[in-house]
């Protein structure tokens, strides 16, 4: 597990991102797999040192599931799912950090549903935000 994509991803997280990612995967909207949450809780405790011996798959599995016999397929599936969630988390953070990105997608969805009044309301809010944030000289 030490050289896995999953660990490479989490090693690049800031301490705030480690905390936020924990909240992200705890949300049943993004993840309903309790095994993934348990695995992440174990990995999070290894942050930021990530000692090789504690990240051996069999060792980590024995800590996460102490009463179960090691199952490589199950462990690989948990790691794969957690890695995919890490990618979703990074995409979500990127999306939320871009000014107006959320509003752009909201306008698209409102338009798809024919919600013209909400489009107008949001366009006014966007125009106001845009004029407050964009100070250019003529």
If you ran DSSP here, which 8-state letter would residue 114 be given? T
Number of Cβ within 10 Å of residue 85's Cβ equals: 21
Structure tokens at 125: 């809010």
Please report the DSSP string for 72-93 in residue order.
HHHHHHHHHHHHHHHHHHHHHH
Structure tokens at 77: 């599936």
- The sign of the torsion formed by the CA atoms of 12, 34, 76, 53 equals positive
If you ran DSSP here, which 8-state letter would residue 55 be given? G
How high does pLDDT run on average in the chain? Answer: 94
Each residue's pLDDT tens digit, 17-55: 999 999 999 999 999 999 999 999 999 999 999 999 999
d(CA 10, CA 50) in angstroms, rounded, equals 10
pTM of the model: 0.85
Each residue's pLDDT tens digit, 50-107: 999 999 999 999 999 999 999 999 999 999 999 999 999 999 999 998 878 898 999 9
- The sign of the torsion formed by the CA atoms of 63, 35, 24, 7 equals positive
d(CA 24, CA 97) in angstroms, rounded, equals 16
pLDDT computed for residue 135 by the predictor: 62
């Amino acid at each position: 597990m030490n050289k896995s994509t999953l660990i490479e991803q989490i090693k690049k997280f800031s301490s705030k991102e480690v905390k936020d990612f924990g909240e992200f995967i705890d949300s049943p909207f993004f993840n309903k797999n309790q095994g993934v949450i348990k695995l992440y809780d174990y990995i999070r405790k290894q942050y930021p040192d990530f000692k090789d011996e504690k990240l051996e798959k069999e060792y980590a599995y024995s800590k996460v599931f102490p009463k179960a016999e090691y199952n490589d397929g199950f462990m690989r599936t948990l790691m794969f799912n957690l890695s995919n969630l890490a990618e979703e988390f990074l995409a979500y953070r990127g999306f939320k950090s871009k000014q107006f990105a959320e509003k752009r997608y909201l306008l698209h969805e409102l338009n798809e549903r024919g919600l013209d009044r909400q489009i107008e309301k949001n366009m006014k809010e966007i125009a106001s935000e845009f004029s407050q944030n964009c100070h250019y000289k003529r």
